[in-house]
Amino acid sequence: MSSTKTIGIIGGGQLGQMMAISAIYMGHKVITLDPASDCPSSRVSEVIAAPYDDVDALRQLADCCDVLTYEFENVDADGLDAVIKDGQLPQGTELLRISQNRIFEKDFLSNKAQVTVAPYKVVTSSLDLEDIDLSKNYVLKTATGGYDGHGQKVITSAEDLEEANALANSAECVLEEFVNFDLEISVIVSGNGKDVTVFPVQENIHRNNILSKTIVPARISDRLADRAKAIAVKIAEQLNLSGTLCVEMFATADDIIVNEIAPRPHNSGHYSIEACDFSQFDTHILGVLGAPLPAINLHEPAVMLNILGQHVEAAERYVTENPSAHLHMYGKLEAKHNRKMGHVTLFSNEPDNVVEFGKGIDF
Ligand code: AMP
């Protein structure tokens, strides 16, 4: 059997594009399914232009590919189940279903993987909010469809209940206790169905709920870093993981609390392209192909800065002044406000001196 495969990627944004680039380096061919024929992946792969829930298009993709993968979790799991052949989607649709719904996700994390999550309860209507203890703070999150802070309401007093009740009556939710974390961190882990490999711990700084800066290694104790990595490995092993997964966590003074998982390469892992000997995209491709996985080494401490639509000019100036910064632009045609257009990775031991593009401008 040829070692050259045809890999079908559902979603042709920047994550799909960077997966495709890794796959192409390894000699594989990539076909992407994306509603936009000029999506970022169109620069590096063939594109089947169709909606993600178009079962005929999914079938067309499945028919011409050896292996399928996805760049984001809101893929139609039933549609995929209807078209995939045995073993064609190594990540499986179960992982998709877990990460599409916070109720399944919390249940998986706390009961199956047995890792620590913030105390939570399932909320099916505002009645479930009637008896909450308002001496504590909470975050109410819709079970499905939320991202980057959308579909969420922080509850710190009775005044927040009107909006929280409306959210609870509009959709199934989970109510989590608010975690007073020191840092937000994440760990990338990749599996090949048997073994896993884990990346260094990433420290993430968000602005307006959008990732702005990632610092690696995260500025936490070795003990907490080892614990964070062990948690990511435990989750991956529980899933018999194939491909790359990102585990987002909160680091408190003495504990690590898991927030959520993303069953794909993640924005906070982009630094790995230059700063590690294998990137999260390389190990994703190796993992979904069931190939042996390398141990990961960080060459040097690194910082990644996101470039949003409103930062493009500042980023262009920055790389002219700092030619050792690695610029990635995803090839998106329109620079909309808050749209992720690219990122920059640089090596630095002084992450506080690496200033985010938007800082002082639009935040
Ligand atoms: P999420 O959509 O779950 O990633 O949440 C978006 C952001 O809200 C996170 O990056 C945190 O900054 C914040 N957040 C979410 N859940 C909690 C929590 N239980 N306690 C404190 N902050 C939270």
Q: What tens digit of pLDDT does each residue of 113-170 get?
A: 999 999 999 999 999 999 999 999 999 999 998 766 788 999 999 999 999 999 999 9
Residue 127 Cα to ligand 1 midpoint, Å, equals 23
Distance (Å, whole) CA 24 – CA 22: 5
State which of 139, 205, 208, 248 you would mutate to test the pocket of ligand 1, scoring each by most atoms of that ligand within 8 A of its C-beta. Answer: 139
Residue 352 Cα to ligand 1 midpoint, Å, equals 23
- Residue 148: per-residue pLDDT: 66
Residue 141 Cα to ligand 1 midpoint, Å, equals 9
Residue of minimum CA distance from atom 6 in ligand 1: 149
Q: Among the atoms of ligand 1, which is closest to the Cα of residue 204?
A: 10
CA quadruple 184, 190, 193, 195: dihedral, nearest 10: -100
Whether pLDDT at 21 is above 90: yes
Of 170, 65, 173, 196, whose CA–CA distance to 123 is shortest?
173
Residue 106 Cα to ligand 1 midpoint, Å, equals 14
Q: What is the pLDDT of residues 259-295, one digit of tens each?
A: 999 999 999 999 999 999 999 999 999 999 999 999 9
Residue of minimum CA distance from atom 13 in ligand 1: 149
Ligand 1 binding residues, C-beta < 6 A: 118, 139, 146, 149, 176, 178-179, 184, 206, 209, 248, 259-260
60-72 residues labelled b (16+ CB within 10 A) or e (exposed): bbbeebbbbbbbb
List of domains in the chain? 6-89 (3.40.50.20), 119-177 (3.30.1490.20), 183-353 (3.30.470.20)
Q: What Cα–Cα distance (Å) separates residue 191 from each residue in 17, 41, 165, 224, 240?
A: 20, 24, 40, 22, 7
Q: What percent of the chain is modeled with pLDDT above 90?
A: 92
